[in-house]
Chain A
Amino acid sequence: MANHSPVGSQHHIVPVKTYLVTWLILLVLMSATIAASYVQLPGVGNNIVALIIATIKAVLVVMVFMGVKYSTKLVKIWAMIGFIWVTFIFGILIDYATRIPVSGFNSDFSTTVPRKAEVAGQPSPPQDQSTGYVAPTDNPKLKAQLGQ
């Protein structure tokens, strides 16, 4: 340990200029993303532009500020694996995209609560027209049951 030479140490000292340039690019990108949000693009265009810019910014921060560009392979893998795995969580969306019917998950709930009322021969409680969903707390019968 005693005669440990600085040559042996792996760390790379990044010049201030690199940081400065990165910072300026980040600020420019931020302005760009704000500006882009005022332009109405067709479809999901705006979201794509915003996310691409955000990703570029994130890569810059990770690579330069966090120094991944100058790090060992292991750190590079570690830096990637988190982001890769997050995309796997987004696999959950496949479920919602492929359900039958695809009208949205709220339509499932609407069949659960009012069913009781239908069985009793009463008119269904008023539904939220936009979602077709009846909140249990809006349901007078349920309210009575819950003692509210």
Chain B
Amino acid sequence: MATNIQEAALEVHDDHHHGPLKHQYEDIDQQNETYIVGMWSFLVTEVMFFGALFLGYVLMRWEYSNDFYISHFQTEVFWGGLNTTVLLSSSFSMALAVHFAQLKEPKKVIAGLCVTLLGAFCFLGVKSHEYLVKIADHHVPGPSFIPPAGTTHNGSQMFFSLYFMMTGLHGIHVIIGAICITTLIILWAKRKPVVTEDYVPTEMVGLYWHFVDLVWIFLFPLFYLIPK
């Protein structure tokens, strides 16, 4: 049998690595590329995750188009627009944080991340305000649900069901993102080599955050901007 294993002219690693390189990789480039591929594969699963909900939305809107049209006046375009602005801006600051992580400038990275985190909290604040308004208006599906005037019970309830499910799932993603960003800020503040010597962990959180932004880009017109 032909020989498959030959003495490789490669350096053997120390088992006790201190830097960001993990033992299963040959070099940092391989590790970084692998992490990015892994993260993108995860984002593909996330896209599929939301995809099913978007399908549900399209189907229900097709079935109850009039109810959806009337019900959507209950969402306020001001708050939706504000949240869009907040998320787009936080995506921008996240991109800057990754940029400075590549340049290894910790202070600027932390600043960028803090702005992003602030955006996340802003978004969640606005969102909870909107939820509270809907709860007060009895627009939460269930026994206490009161459909807006001119809609059928089922149709408008479906609108709000989808509204709460989709924005709720998105909100959960925002919360997870905020937790990741907080962790990242702590790591940067402590100047841990796992982030300072390698920009990819920051980049991965960045990708996740941009994805959260991406979902919102579609949610916004679908729930707030059915033609006025």
State in angstroms the CA–CA spacing of A85 and B51 once bound together: 9
| Interface size range of chain B in the complex | 35 or more
Which residues from A are CB-within-8-Å of B99?
13-14, 16, 19
State in angstroms the CA–CA spacing of A83 and B28 once bound together: 30
Contact call B59/A1, Cβ cutoff below 8 A: no
Contact call B102/A13, Cβ cutoff below 8 A: yes
Which residues from A are CB-within-8-Å of B128?
none
Contact call B84/A65, Cβ cutoff below 8 A: no
Tell me, yes or no, whether A117 is within 8 Å of chain B by CB. Answer: no
A113 CB, min distance to chain B CBs, angstroms: 14
Tell me, yes or no, whether B94 is within 8 Å of chain A by CB. Answer: yes
Which residues from B are CB-within-8-Å of A104?
63
Question: What per-residue 1/0 map shows which CB atoms of B177-199 lie under 8 Å from chain A?
Answer: 00000000000000000000001
Q: Give the residue of A14, A50, A61, A89 whose beta carbon is less than 8 angstroms from that of B221.
A: A50
If A9-B32, A27-B88, A61-B210 touch, whether A37 touches B152 (CB-CB below 8 Å) is no
Which residues from B are CB-within-8-Å of A11?
32, 102, 199
Instruction: Please give the residue numbers on chain A whose beta carbons come within 8 Å of chain B beta carbons, in ascending order.
Output: 1-2, 4, 8-11, 13-14, 16, 19-20, 22-23, 26-27, 30, 33-34, 36-41, 46-47, 50-51, 53-54, 57-58, 61-62, 64-67, 71-72, 74-75, 78-79, 81-83, 85-86, 89-90, 92-93, 96, 104-106, 128, 130-131, 133, 135
Instruction: Please give the residue numbers on chain B whose beta carbons come within 8 Å of chain A beta carbons, in ascending order.
Output: 11, 13, 21, 26-29, 32-33, 36-37, 40-41, 43-48, 51-52, 54-55, 58-59, 62-63, 77, 81, 84-85, 88-89, 91-92, 94-96, 99, 102-103, 152-155, 199, 203, 206-207, 210-211, 213-214, 217-218, 220-222, 224-228
